[in-house]
Amino acid sequence: MELLDRSIVEVQAALARGEVSARELAEATLARCADPAHAGVHLDHDPARTLAMAAAVDDKRARGEPLGPLAGVPIGLKDVLVTRDARTTCGSRILEGYRPPYDATAVARLRAADAVFTGKLNMDEFAMGSSNENSAYGPVKNPWDPSRVPGGSSGGSAAAVAAGLTLGTLGTDTGGSIRQPAALCGVVGVKPTYGRVSRFGLVAFASSLDQIGTFARDVRGAARLLEVVAGHDPRDSTSVVQPVPDWVSACGKDVKGLRLGVPREYLGEGLEPEVRASIEQALELLRGLGCSVVPIDMPHTRYGVSTYYVIATAECSSNLARFDGVRYGLRVAGKDLRAMYGATRDAGFGPEVKRRILLGTYVLSAGYYDAYYAKAMKVRTLIRRDFDRAFEQVDAIVGPTSPSVAWPFGQKTADPLQMYLADLFTLPASLAGLPGISVPAAKGAESGLPVGLQIVTPAFDEARMFTLAHAFEQVSPGRWDRAWPRA
Partner 1 sequence: MPLIDRAQVLHVAKLARLTLADDEVPVITAQLERILEHIAQLSEVDTEGVEPTAHVGVDRLPLREDVVAPSLDRAAVLAAAPDTVGHGFVVPAFVEE
Q: Rule CB under 8 A: is residue 343 a binding residue for partner 1? A: yes
Contact stretch for partner 1 (CB under 8 A) within 68-76, 113-121, 356-364, 445-453 = 356-364
Least distance between partner 1 and beta carbon 76 (Å): 23
Residue among 446, 159, 435 nearest 278 (CA): 446
Residues near partner 1 (CB under 8 A), total: 75
Q: Rule CB under 8 A: is residue 361 a binding residue for partner 1? A: yes
The question of whether 120 is a catalytic residue gets the answer: no
Write down the number of H helices and E strands in the chain.
17, 11
Q: Rule CB under 8 A: is residue 339 a binding residue for partner 1? A: yes
Q: Rule CB under 8 A: is residue 244 a binding residue for partner 1? A: no
Residue 400 in 3-state DSSP? strand
User: What CA–CA distance (Å, rounded) separates 46 from 34?
Assistant: 11
Residues 367-386 that bind partner 1 (CB under 8 A): 371-372, 374-382, 384
Check 92, 153, 402, 476 and give the catalytic one.
153
Element at 487 (helix H, strand E): none
Residues 430-449 that bind partner 1 (CB under 8 A): 431-433
Q: Which is nearer to partner 1, 146 or 334 (CB)?
A: 334
Contact 171, 212 (CB under 8 A): yes
CA dihedral 193, 195, 197, 201 (to 10 degrees): 130
Contact 211, 177 (CB under 8 A): no
Q: Rule CB under 8 A: is residue 389 a binding residue for partner 1? A: no
Among 56, 69, 238, 293, binds partner 1 (CB under 8 A): 238
Element at 89 (helix H, strand E): none
Check 157, 177, 239, 430 and give the catalytic one.
177
Among 306, 411, 413, 477, binds partner 1 (CB under 8 A): 306
Residues 448-467 that bind partner 1 (CB under 8 A): 459
Contact stretch for partner 1 (CB under 8 A) within 50-58, 123-131, 392-400, 410-418 = 410-418
Q: Please work out, in degrees rounded to the nearest 5, the angle formed at the alpha carbon of residue 28 by the alpha carbons of 24 and 33.
A: 145
Per-residue burial over 451-485, b = 16 or more CB atoms within 10 Å of its CB, e = otherwise:
bbbbbbbbbbbbbbbbbbbbbbbeebebbbeebbe
Q: Which residues contact 461 (CB under 8 A, 6 or more apart)?
A: 435
The DSSP code for 36 is G
The question of whether 256 is a catalytic residue gets the answer: no
User: What CA–CA distance (Å, rounded) separates 156 from 174?
Assistant: 16
Residues 94-123 that bind partner 1 (CB under 8 A): 98-102
Tell me the per-residue interface mask from 34 to 73 with partner 1, x by CB under 8 A, - otherwise: ----------------------------------------
Contact stretch for partner 1 (CB under 8 A) within 73-81, 144-152, 164-172, 317-325 = 317-325
Q: Rule CB under 8 A: is residue 31 a binding residue for partner 1? A: no
Q: Which is nearer to partner 1, 13 or 337 (CB)?
A: 337
Q: Rule CB under 8 A: is residue 80 a binding residue for partner 1? A: no
- Parallel, antiparallel, or unpaired: how do β-strands 396-400 and 259-263 relate? parallel
Q: Which residues contact 86 (CB under 8 A, 6 or more apart)?
A: 44, 46, 49, 99, 117, 119, 120
Q: Which is nearer to partner 1, 274 or 423 (CB)?
A: 423
Least distance between partner 1 and beta carbon 188 (Å): 24
Among 18, 63, 243, 417, binds partner 1 (CB under 8 A): 417
User: What CA–CA distance (Å, rounded) separates 240 from 242?
Assistant: 6
Q: Rule CB under 8 A: is residue 87 a binding residue for partner 1? A: no
What's CA 269's distance to the chain center, in Å?
Answer: 26
Element at 345 (helix H, strand E): helix 337-348
Q: Rule CB under 8 A: is residue 243 a binding residue for partner 1? A: no
User: What CA–CA distance (Å, rounded) separates 278 from 258?
Assistant: 21
User: What CA–CA distance (Å, rounded) separates 372 from 370?
Assistant: 6
Check 78, 120, 141, 443 and give the catalytic one.
78
Among 90, 128, 310, 441, binds partner 1 (CB under 8 A): 310
The question of whether 78 is a catalytic residue gets the answer: yes
Residues 199-228 that bind partner 1 (CB under 8 A): 208
Which residues are known to be catalytic? 78, 153, 177
